[in-house]
Structure 1
Amino acid sequence: MAQKQDDKPPEKQPRDKGKGVSLSLMARLWRGYMVCYWPQLAAAVLFMVTLAAAEAMFPVIIEWVFASFDTGRQATADGGRSFMDYIPLEPTPRNVMIWGPVLLLTAGCLNAASQYLYSLSTNAAAIGVLRDLQKAMFGNFLNYDYAQTREDGSGQLVSRFTNDTTTLRESLTRVPNAIRDIFRLLVLLTMMALYDWVLFLIVALIYPTIGLPVTWIGKRLRKYAGGVQNQIGDMTGQLAESMRGARMVKTYNLEDYEKSRADASFEERHALLFKFVQMRAANDPMIMVVGAIAVAAVIGTAAWRFSTGDLTGEQLIAFVVILTLLSQPARSIGTLNAVLQEGLAALERIFWVIDRKPEITDAADAKELVLNGGGTGASIEFADVRFAYPGGEAAIDDLSLTVPAGQMVALVGESGAGKSTIFNLLPRLYDTASGTITIDGQDLRGLTLKSLRDHIALVSQEAILFDDSVEANIRFGNWAASEEKVIAAAKAAAADEFIRALPSGYQTRVGDAGNNLSGGQRQRIALARAFLKDAPILLLDEATSALDAESERKVQEALARLTEGRTTIAIAHRLSTVRDADLICVMDRGQIVEQGTHEELLTRGGIYSRLAALQFRED
């Protein structure tokens, strides 16, 4: 079941700590990602100025048009100034009939072109920044410890790559738009002040009151936005679980159970979204009310100014046009805070992924793993090793084991005995709590992770394939291998024959998680990958469990050749697969309770003897 976000450690949930954190986030976004898109941003500034100029032309043209209807007008009223004098045409009905449509169409086309090019420039920068953030997120994610990837859950991580970046994209688009709208607002307010300073003061006093409720709403929107984004991650993980486990759901008639889980997630999401929508829905109406108050005050005052001769009719109309043009940028700036808070919540989560540091890293003086040579694998020694998974009991408890170079050691025992944990500790997917693990006398903690893992090949019981070609999935073992070696590895894994029978042979895509192939086919491709890597240390986790009898026989023969001269540790549930191992270790509760050869353990009458009696039906 997907883990609830509230159950996770506090450090996994980024929290807003005030305006300082918000400014720090925005400054980091600018320095680290946006500044490299300065050509697009510079072009956006140019188009922003052009747009403001085109918009400012409308009230001037309207004033000029209406002036033609007043033949006895004064050039300028006592209370303000006129901008139509900048039009080198007398405001006569004939000139307005000919040139009025031309001027309006010119201003409209210039406005439209500027808006289009401005939007293109800002969006190009925004999607470029998102791409760079996603690259940085995934690049750092690949450095995570195995434990960190399991702890976070795929749903939460996928949500950061998809939902959070989508939310941030809207904010990145709106912030430049807000700068544009602020510039438009300044231009229009300047014209308004020059037309009539009294009306300007009324607007200037009323509109700033929008900021008080908008700020209050914005704080709550950011809180709700973070909750919505976190819940998306939980829901994504749960849905992915249901889809991956479709076979079990159908077989065990778990449809009602899965539906109840999904319904609970959908209800939780509905509740969070409704709170979020409530707050966001209040934003625009509040701005609209304040805007209506401003218009009402302007109309009343304008009528009074007109009656006293301080304002001409055409100036009043031009002023109303400016006021109408003000509403769009004012509303945009007012709603910016809501979008910005959502974006900052998403940005916190994105930077958390980028900033998170792995706990298992190379030591400052780490060295390359160097084997003793001779082509006989490597000796491995576990000395008093203890390990426990977070929040659990000891999975390995004071375990000591020596695996001589070139020999095969089999681990058997019930599930939970600690067999897989040994496989996790050897390539340092986890670090021991105490004790040491050495390869040819070299402590794993003193080795570089790359050199350590280059010497280990793992074939797990669950074959992991990526949605790529068969050849690519085999080449993961060695990208530099020739085509002949790839085919040889496939033949060694008894896979060549069925691969050639696929629609496109080695270039056939295996599908999501290899779903285009059978379980046995997936396992043999994973085996071919291990053959191709040709590592001196092999970790085999029931590597032949998914094969039919004929394929198992072929693979067992190939494994016998492959393990010769190499150090192999094998987990076995079917004892028939390891009866020829050099040493068999029986594990129970994280300890080795019996060890010896197959024949030796049978004669002791212990756990192994009882397991063998059940599997081989021996007395």
Structure 2
Amino acid sequence: MKEFLQLMRRFVSPYKKYIGWAILLNILSAVFNVFSFTFLIPILSILFKTEGADKVYHYMEWGSGDLAEVAKNNFYYYISQMIVDNGPTVALIFLGLFLMIMTLFKTGCYFASSAVMIPLRTGVVRDIRIMVYAKVMRLPMSFFSEERKGDIIARMSGDVGEVENSITSSLDMLMKSPIMIILYFATLVVTSWQLTLFTIVVLPGMGWLMGVVGRKLKRQSLEAQSKWSDTMSQLEETLGGLRIIKAFIAEDKMINRFTKCSNELRDATNRVAIRQAMAHPMSEFLGTILIVAVLWFGGTLILGQNATIDAPTFIFYMVILYSVINPLKDFAKAGYNIPKGLASMERVDKILKAENKIKEIPNPKPLKGLNDRIEFKDISFSYDGKREVLKHVNLTVPKGKTIALVGQSGSGKSTLVDLLPRYHDVQEGDITIDGTSIRDVRIADLRSLIGNVNQEAILFNDTFFNNIAFGVENATMEQVIEAAKIANAHDFIMEKPEGYNMNIGDRGGKLSGGQRQRISIARAILKNPPILILDEATSALDTESERLVQEALERLMKTRTTIAIAHRLSTIKNADEICVLYEGEIVERGKHEDLIELNGYYKRLHDMQQL
């Protein structure tokens, strides 16, 4: 319950007005319900000639005695007069009509209390989804290297959906049930405190049984949601690797793997569903035990020599007690559903409460552009805290110059350039722009200065225009076309039936590898940043396209500060400085000709590519 209350404080606060209306309407619904049942006693006592039917009632002035006694007496008086004046049949019709009106008011308030909670339920779920998505957008890249994408998708879809189905759908019951239980129990106390005391003694044992089952349900729900994440992860991996799966004729292997995972999910879900299905039968059985126990105890009170309750009042008491059973069952059902939802919320909180180590200082310095140089000062970095990926790297990138990074895979080239836009934070040393540490400026200002073209062209399921204009506010068609021309993309775009308005498919699936890369380059060109990071920018292009794009990039790089990662040494021959990385250290640096003459590691790389 503590976890649930904390959840309510976190997400329900903006919707307090809905809770207020729901409480008021539920109180009215319960009052109308109790008031309609009070007709049972006079109907049984007077209409059907039970004990006390011959008693003559006289009108009492309001305020002449105890309010409850006066109200009861006058109620009986009016019904007696109705029977005398109109006869039992007409009186029964009037009482029935009055009961219908009370029921209409009760059900109307009941419906309104449910309807007023719908905006709260849907609003809470929407807020959680937005918060998770916003958190994912702001988490550092290191978080996603440790988490599976399928697991994150499962938490945003399955787990948030489970919160909606289990917790927010239970809010309605949690609002209604306690109000009805309190009002009904108050009525029971007024009717017979002895019977109510007996009932209260019996109830805690039943509540304890419910709690035992509910606690086990949460543990099983965590297991089931974990299996759901595994299933989603396998699906995501399959969709991303279909080409390789088919190439290696591994369809049956993947199907068997997915079948095994699905069977485990089914078994875990079965255990949760079976325990959840136990809620209604168990509460029904326990409710019947309660009714039987009260019937026995009430019978002893009526049949005893000093009866404290008469038969009509006892029947009224039983009706009210039976009315308590339904809200108690709803309360028990919510008690079963909520642990399942809390298990899902616990998984969602692993994202919401994940620490973002990339933080801004309270009063960051302004950063408008690059005026002088970028400096990497004694940089050391490791991903796991054990093996260093970069070791005491020192590098100066003057404004307008092109610095190339070369070396074998895993030497730290991509890691080094990822530190500049603060995808990761350096652990030792510092990176400065014009003498200002990048940790002392706004991240948005820093990244607005940098344009990226990566080895893998990352595109979106959108049009050519929107992919090229991505991140550039109010870009015009003329600007997009100019950027596409520079990137050698305009011609093949215009060959498409819809031109720049054509959707390129998921991750640009309708395009070739070279076309995707040229769209990615056009996007960086349109952003027009002072700093360019080219991570194997031409690796996916054919020979002719590579030549054209390389020329365009070289024209663009003349007025930009560029850090280029390259495996094809032919693409960086004209760089102002080439830095050779080996196992996280810069082992050679200089121009292409100088490094060839040095006859070192760079020369060996060059000779291997020549061969």
**Distance in 2 separating the partners of 1:517 and 1:276:** 45
Cα offsets for 1:542-578 (capped at 9, x unmatched): 2122233443333222112111122212122233322
1:65 is displaced (CA, Å) by 5.2
1:68 is displaced (CA, Å) by 6.7
- Is contact 1:63–1:84 with CA below 8 Å preserved after alignment? no
SS at match of 1:382: strand
Residue matched to 2:148:
153
- In the TM superposition, 1:200-599 aligns within 5 A as 200-305=196-301, 307=303, 314-364=312-362, 366-369=364-367, 373=371, 379-390=373-384, 393-599=387-593
Distance 1:227 1:283, change over 3 A: same
SS at match of 1:142: helix
Cα offsets for 1:49-104 (capped at 9, x unmatched): 22212322453345555557623552499xx9997974854465412663455344
1:114 alignment partner, one of 109, 117, 122? 109
The letter of the residue matching 1:293 is I
1:397 is displaced (CA, Å) by 2.2
**Distance in 2 separating the partners of 1:516 and 1:328:** 58
Distance 1:50 1:365, change over 3 A: closer
**Distance in 2 separating the partners of 1:381 and 1:189:** 75
Residue matched to 1:189:
185
The letter of the residue matching 2:5 is M
SS at match of 1:394: coil
SS at match of 2:138: coil
Distance 1:182 1:29, change over 3 A: closer
SS at match of 1:462: coil
- Is contact 1:412–1:586 with CA below 8 Å preserved after alignment? yes
Residue matched to 1:140:
135
- In the TM superposition, 1:57-206 aligns within 5 A as 57-63=35-41, 66=44, 70-71=48-49, 73-75=51-53, 86=75, 88-89=78-79, 90=82, 93-95=88-90, 98-99=93-94, 101-169=96-164, 170-206=166-202
SS at match of 1:415: coil
Which 4+ runs in 1 deviate beyond 6 A? 80-85
Moved more, 270-279 or 431-440: 270-279
**Distance in 2 separating the partners of 1:614 and 1:343:** 59
Segments of 5+ residues of structure 1 without an aligned counterpart are 1-18
Distance 1:265 1:83, change over 3 A: farther
SS at match of 2:389: strand
The letter of the residue matching 2:575 is A
Distance 1:380 1:310, change over 3 A: closer
Distance 1:357 1:76, change over 3 A: farther
Moved more, 43-52 or 302-311: 302-311
1:44 is displaced (CA, Å) by 1.0
SS at match of 1:547: coil
**Distance in 2 separating the partners of 1:548 and 1:62:** 90
1:328 is displaced (CA, Å) by 0.9
Moved more, 221-230 or 551-560: 221-230
Moved more, 38-47 or 61-70: 61-70
- The number of residues matched between the two structures is 589
SS at match of 1:389: coil
1:52 alignment partner, one of 30, 34, 57? 30
Distance 1:68 1:464, change over 3 A: farther
1:439 is displaced (CA, Å) by 3.1
Distance 1:86 1:123, change over 3 A: farther
**Distance in 2 separating the partners of 1:198 and 1:76:** 28
- Is contact 2:380–2:426 with CA below 8 Å preserved after alignment? yes
Residue matched to 1:29:
8
1:197 is displaced (CA, Å) by 4.0
- Is contact 1:193–1:200 with CA below 8 Å preserved after alignment? yes
The letter of the residue matching 1:254 is A
**Distance in 1 separating the partners of 2:294 and 2:548:** 91
The letter of the residue matching 1:401 is L
The letter of the residue matching 2:140 is D
**Distance in 2 separating the partners of 1:129 and 1:84:** 49
Distance 1:35 1:477, change over 3 A: closer
The letter of the residue matching 1:323 is L
- Is contact 2:370–2:530 with CA below 8 Å preserved after alignment? no
Segments of 5+ residues of structure 2 without an aligned counterpart are 56-67
Distance 1:148 1:379, change over 3 A: same
Distance 1:207 1:606, change over 3 A: same
- Is contact 2:121–2:169 with CA below 8 Å preserved after alignment? yes
Residue matched to 2:64:
none
**Distance in 2 separating the partners of 1:344 and 1:506:** 47
**Distance in 1 separating the partners of 2:177 and 2:438:** 59
- Is contact 1:175–1:340 with CA below 8 Å preserved after alignment? no
Distance 1:551 1:107, change over 3 A: farther
Structure index of larger Rg: 2
Residue matched to 1:10:
none
**Distance in 2 separating the partners of 1:99 and 1:347:** 53
Residue matched to 2:63:
none
Distance 1:64 1:165, change over 3 A: farther
Distance 1:42 1:477, change over 3 A: closer
Identity over aligned pairs, percent: 32
The letter of the residue matching 2:365 is K
1:238 is displaced (CA, Å) by 3.2
Query: What RMSD over aligned residues (CA atoms) do the two structures have, in Å?
Result: 3.2
SS at match of 2:456: coil
**Distance in 2 separating the partners of 1:29 and 1:137:** 17
| TM-score (norm: length of structure 1) | 0.85
1:260 is displaced (CA, Å) by 4.3
Distance 1:516 1:98, change over 3 A: farther
